[in-house]
A = this chain, B = another copy of it.
Amino acid sequence: MTTTTGRAPAPGRRRGPSMADVAREANVSGQTVSRVSNGRDNVDAVTRDRVLAAMTKLGYRPNSAARALRTGRFRSIGVIMFTLSSFGNMRTLDAITTAASDAGYSLTLIPVPHPTKGEISVAFDRLADAAVDGVILIVEAHLLDESDVELPDGLPVVIVDASGDERFPGVDTDQAHGARLAVQHLLDLGHESVWHVAGPERSYSATSRREAWAATLAEHGATAPPVLEGDWSTESGYELGLELAANPAVTAVFAANDQMALGVLRAMHETGRQVPGDVSVVGFDDMSESSSFWPPLTTVHQFFGEVGRRSVEALLREVEVGERRGNSVVDVELVVRQSTAPPR
């Protein structure tokens, strides 16, 4: 005689009560529990209370896997990003998380260690497995030019700060306008020309800023000095800053982000060049520390929160309504502090 197998308590833990259990407890059908659980209004108030009481008593929690299987929706959005360590990305992510959570979506993070084509493909592969309804890409790279990178079919995508490609809706900060404001400000103060510490070539934001810098200079008949290319890091700003400090012709520097600007400031201090007396410095981002740099940094303020919010909005519109929007541009603002002054 064989005994029933009496299977082990649970493979994956947390096999909580199911709808059927609640239904039994409340003496209704599973469907009624489902209706209550989903907040439908075609349930009698008395019945609803009974069901709610049963739910509380049993500690019922809807099983999101079953729900997702049934509905085909995960109520989760994915975010693909390189390196969390950049200030802007963090802020954007923060806003995205909040906006998503307000809309009742959770957020799945999909990291890409290095921005190479191969890694991106890996991320997209992983993405296809991921339980998400849509994806926000924050990759700061011209990856879209590489046409063999393929997004999973039919998965809504919004791209942040890597525009120029019209295949997907995007949300972009007005990089060019920011760079223009920065350069214009320095020119207005009377500087003959403005040197540029740029971000890496592969970054879309970096090239936009660089181009706008060059264009603004050209419009004012100023000759553009050679570009110094950094990698966004404070260290690289410092090293390039030492080069600039050694050149007496340099009176104004526009760094493509605040971190590199900080490095430039340090280089100037170490070499005894006064800021803003001898050299004026402008950054980009307006990170929260910038107002306490020495001297407090003149910089271009980005509205990362707005970028994050709009991304989620655009994505969810496509996910839920099926309506696809075009690109959206977020403006910037020049914040003048004490790192800029007229040349001596």
Of B85, B130, B292, the residue contacting A64 (CB under 8 A) is B130
Tell me the A265-282 residues at the B interface (CB within 8 Å).
Answer: 265-266, 269
Is A10 interfacial (CB-CB < 8 Å)? yes
Contacts of A129 in B (CB 8 A): 61-62, 64
Q: Is the beta-carbon distance between A85 and B91 smaller than 8 angstroms?
A: yes
Q: Is the beta-carbon distance between B107 and A108 smaller than 8 angstroms?
A: yes
Is A226 interfacial (CB-CB < 8 Å)? no
Contacts of A155 in B (CB 8 A): 13-14
Contacts of A94 in B (CB 8 A): 83-85, 111
Is A76 interfacial (CB-CB < 8 Å)? yes
Q: Which residue from chain B places its CB closest to the CB of A84 in the assembled complex?
A: B94
Report A142-167 CB contacts with B as 1/0, cut-off 8 Å.
Answer: 00000000001111000000000000
Contacts of A93 in B (CB 8 A): 84
Report A106-141 CB contacts with B as 1/0, cut-off 8 Å.
Answer: 111111010000000000001011110100000000
Is A344 interfacial (CB-CB < 8 Å)? no
A137–chain B nearest beta-carbon distance, Å: 16
A10–B70 alpha-carbon span in the complex (Å): 11
Is A170 interfacial (CB-CB < 8 Å)? no
Contacts of A110 in B (CB 8 A): 101, 106
Q: Which residue from chain B places its CB closest to the CB of A241 in the assembled complex?
A: B292
Is A233 interfacial (CB-CB < 8 Å)? yes
A131–B108 alpha-carbon span in the complex (Å): 11
Contacts of A208 in B (CB 8 A): none
A19–chain B nearest beta-carbon distance, Å: 13
Is A59 interfacial (CB-CB < 8 Å)? yes
Q: Is the beta-carbon distance between B61 and A65 smaller than 8 angstroms?
A: no
Of B69, B90, B109, the residue contacting A65 (CB under 8 A) is B69
Q: Is the beta-carbon distance between B69 and A98 smaller than 8 angstroms?
A: no
Contacts of A69 in B (CB 8 A): 63, 65-66, 69
Contacts of A74 in B (CB 8 A): 65, 131
Tell me the A43-97 residues at the B interface (CB within 8 Å).
Answer: 59, 61-66, 68-69, 71-74, 76, 83-85, 90-91, 93-94, 97
Contacts of A128 in B (CB 8 A): 61
Is A298 interfacial (CB-CB < 8 Å)? no
Q: Is the beta-carbon distance between A234 and B12 smaller than 8 angstroms?
A: no
Contacts of A12 in B (CB 8 A): 71-73, 133
Of B73, B101, B233, the residue contacting A126 (CB under 8 A) is B101
A321–chain B nearest beta-carbon distance, Å: 12
Report A247-270 CB contacts with B as 1/0, cut-off 8 Å.
Answer: 000000000000100110110010
Contacts of A238 in B (CB 8 A): 292
Is A11 interfacial (CB-CB < 8 Å)? yes
| Pairs of residues from A and B, 9 with the lowest C-beta to C-beta distance, nearest first | A12-B72, A65-B68, A84-B94, A12-B73, A65-B69, A266-B292, A64-B131, A234-B292, A107-B109
11 contacting pairs across A/B (C-beta < 8 A)? A12-B133, A61-B129, A62-B129, A64-B129, A65-B65, A84-B94, A94-B111, A131-B131, A234-B291, A238-B292, A262-B292
